[in-house]
Structure 1
Amino acid sequence: MHTASVISLACLTIVAAVTVWRIRRHPRRPSNGFWLLATVGALWYAVLALTSALMPVHAVSVPALIGTAPTLILPALVIIAGVSLIANTGVVVRREGVRPATLTPAVIGVALLGTVGLATTALYIAAGDVTVLSWSARAAVNVAVLALIPGTMLIVELVAYTVYAVVYRWLPHRDEANVIVVLGCGLVDGAVSPLLAARVDTAIAEYTAREDAGTAPLLVMSGGQGADETRTEAEAMAEYARERGVPDDRILMEMQSTNTEENLLFTEELLEDAGFADPSLLIVTSNFHVLRSVSLSRQLRLRVGALGSPTPSYYLPSAFLREFAALVVHYRWANVLVWLMLTALWAVPLIVM
């Protein structure tokens, strides 16, 4: 077996082993998505090396197809994703109105298309012999590459986050929670919205199943009062649950929080005051919100599992991308550091030359 094949298989084995270990040991880390992508990349490299070593070379060989396929398929997928997100924005805006949250898919869609456009421009300019390109043409290529860095980072992060959000839903989770926490998400005329109703319904179904098994958990409704709301989200959720048969003595209300992190922090304080020391929580939220919720809970050192409620299909891209954007902002300094490092790797040699 050729040296390249041995190296590729060793890389695949190591990267795959680290990925599995991280997911088993730290399942709530969104960064596991990068390791899944690294595993896919290592698998691609191993297949390429093996086919190159074992198959004869023809005018159009299998190794050539394997090696060039990503460069042909990925741009097409990015373009399709960008156009689809822009189209989805029109649907969401018609049903939900014009808000920053409903415009998020269009913003990210334009960013994806812009990244492909910049890459195409740079390749077109550099298609000739770089050594004979004019100074302005070389400068245009360098500027395009520098502008590509944040766009490429966005694409990689979005793919990694999406992949792991899907994988996380299928991971086995602890079933030892003694408290179910429903995270609020806004009211409509003082009543639970359809999105919030789906969360509470999911929590009630879980509560009923555990009650039938002889271990009725405590339900915590977590959500404060927004500036445009007549009462707290917790009060509306508690009323909704009581109307559907949940006993009042099994419901606690956390009525101060205004975001996900406060949901978790204030719920922990409420449970401590109620005599629950180091409780095991089952967070119930919308399916698009699960990964960011458990990521925050890991940082807060809480013992949690998570259960996702369904989201209308037309609203899912907007809601999911809003969560992705929130996570990017949460890790903004890490993103800035990576961006500066990648920019320096390209720019410093140009300045020194």
Structure 2
Amino acid sequence: MLAYAPAALLFGVFCVRVLRERRRFGNAVLLGLAVLCALAAWTLQLARSDSTSGLVVAWSLVGLGSLAVLVLTCFLFLNGLQMVRKEGRSPSNLLSLLAALAILAVIALLITAFVVRTPVLTGVAATVGGIALYVSFLFLCFVCYAFLYGRLRVRRGADYVVVLGSGLVGGSTVPPLLASRLKRAQAVHARLARRGSAPVLITSGGQGPDEDLPESHAMADYLTAQGFPADLIEREDRSTTTEENLRYSKAIMEKAKPDYRCVIVTNNYHAFRAALTARQMRIRGQVVGSPTAAYFWPNATIREFAAILVSYRWTNAAMCSLLVLGGVLAWWTRSNGTG
């Protein structure tokens, strides 16, 4: 049981950090490390047992892992084709397809390096494989914790409900993606109103170059058409990005009530990254997500993860540099071994 102590310790630290501040990417990494340590301890326990069942379980895990990679690759490839067919060939819509091709390329490189066994190819494969494992680990941490974050209830009351804009169709029409945010905001508002005084709902979004009016105005019109009281809506109509959505909405809330509390509403794939941004801006509130079309979710999740990698670029650059050094070491060891 001592082998499970690191996993238990990491999980304990994870729980404490979540209770203190759930809007941290470090929480996702801690949870991933706890699960990884638990799996390592279990594998070690199986390896130490001389029973045939232990070997069967170990090889079954390897087989399931390989099958999972194959299924994931096929799923991403098919999802990428579906995204192109439904949403067009813009770069942001090709992420699922590119991810599937990247997985195939890494597998092909590793197999080639194993067969050919040249020093240079060994070093390159070690570097690429290490970076692939690192990014895959972070991605799994992100997906699992984002799923968990979206299911943690907001138990405090709130003075404001902030709805983040996402663009209009035809210059003036609220699209289904944005409509789902507004419907979730109405549900959150109704729940908070039952606890006490009704909060103010802030629609946040400026006017894009291809839009006939600011997103916040179209969002407010959509809500009033659904019967929502117009006197409980405030419009933030200057923002063009998520960061500006949050910054300008924060200014409105702080001006009216410096000790405000809020709930921010976006789509479920975007909720965790919006929460990280809100924490960086010291906004007092959590983020909740609304449903997203199933075909759109994988590509959007990859895009959100890529944005988080960029926001932590220096940490990731340092880790990748270490992995490159590991690849150089593998090349050097192989060169001396064959020389």
TM-score by length of structure 1 reads: 0.87
Q: 2:11 maps to which residue? A: 16
Report the secondary structure of 1:277's partner residue: coil
Matched to 1:319, the amino acid is A
Report the secondary structure of 1:180's partner residue: strand
Q: 1:299 maps to which residue? A: 280
Q: 1:339 maps to which residue? A: 320
Higher relative CO (Cα under 8 Å, sequence separation at least 6) belongs to 2
Matched to 2:228, the amino acid is V
Q: Distance in 2 between matches of 1:343 and 1:218?
A: 51
Q: Distance in 2 between matches of 1:177 and 1:112?
A: 44
Relative distance call for 1:69 and 1:346 in structure 2 (3 A) is: farther
1:72-104 deviations in Å (ceiling 9; x for gaps): 333332232122112111212222222222111
Q: 1:131 maps to which residue? A: none
Q: Quote the offset at 1:170 in angstroms.
A: 2.3
Task: Indicate whether 1:221 and 2:212 are aligned.
Answer: no
Q: 1:244 maps to which residue? A: 226
Match of 2:24 among 23, 29, 32: 29
Q: Quote the offset at 1:238 in angstroms.
A: 0.8
Q: Distance in 1 between matches of 2:313 and 2:16?
A: 26
Match of 1:146 among 81, 102, 127: 127
Relative distance call for 1:52 and 1:77 in structure 2 (3 A) is: closer
Q: Quote the offset at 1:225 in angstroms.
A: 1.4
Q: Quote the offset at 1:181 in angstroms.
A: 0.3
Task: Indicate whether 1:328 and 2:309 are aligned.
Answer: yes
Q: Quote the offset at 1:180 in angstroms.
A: 0.2
1:72-221 to structure 2, matched below 5 A, reads: 72-126=63-117, 137-189=118-170, 190-221=172-203
Determine if contact 1:79/1:112 at 8 Å carries over to the other structure. no
Task: Indicate whether 1:280 and 2:245 are aligned.
Answer: no
Structure 1 residue runs without a partner (length 5+): 127-136
Q: Distance in 1 between matches of 2:307 and 2:330?
A: 34
Q: Distance in 1 between matches of 2:315 and 2:66?
A: 26
Report the secondary structure of 2:84's partner residue: helix
Identity among equivalent positions (%) equals: 32
Q: Distance in 1 between matches of 2:102 and 2:273?
A: 22
Q: Quote the offset at 1:69 in angstroms.
A: 4.4
1:20-71 deviations in Å (ceiling 9; x for gaps): 2222223111232222221122222332344455x5x24xx23334444444
Task: Indicate whether 1:43 and 2:42 are aligned.
Answer: no
Q: Quote the offset at 1:143 in angstroms.
A: 1.7
Q: Distance in 1 between matches of 2:65 and 2:198?
A: 49
Matched to 1:43, the amino acid is A
Q: 1:264 maps to which residue? A: 246
Q: Quote the offset at 1:206 in angstroms.
A: 2.0
Report the secondary structure of 2:25's partner residue: coil
- Greater shift, 342-351 or 284-293, is seen at 342-351
Report the secondary structure of 1:192's partner residue: coil
Q: Quote the offset at 1:268 in angstroms.
A: 0.7
Matched to 1:313, the amino acid is A
1:162-217 deviations in Å (ceiling 9; x for gaps): 11111212223333221000000010011111100110111112223333444211
Q: 1:130 maps to which residue? A: none
Relative distance call for 1:73 and 1:116 in structure 2 (3 A) is: farther
Match of 1:313 among 287, 294, 318: 294
Q: Distance in 2 between matches of 1:344 and 1:65?
A: 36
Relative distance call for 1:262 and 1:335 in structure 2 (3 A) is: same
Matched to 1:317, the amino acid is P
Q: Distance in 2 between matches of 1:32 and 1:65?
A: 34
Q: Distance in 2 between matches of 1:26 and 1:271?
A: 21
Q: Distance in 2 between matches of 1:213 and 1:10?
A: 42
Determine if contact 1:260/1:293 at 8 Å carries over to the other structure. yes
Q: Distance in 1 between matches of 2:100 and 2:73?
A: 4
Matched to 1:337, the amino acid is A
Q: Quote the offset at 1:154 in angstroms.
A: 2.2
Q: Distance in 1 between matches of 2:122 and 2:44?
A: 31
Determine if contact 1:82/1:113 at 8 Å carries over to the other structure. yes
- How many residues align? The count is 333
Q: Distance in 1 between matches of 2:211 and 2:288?
A: 26
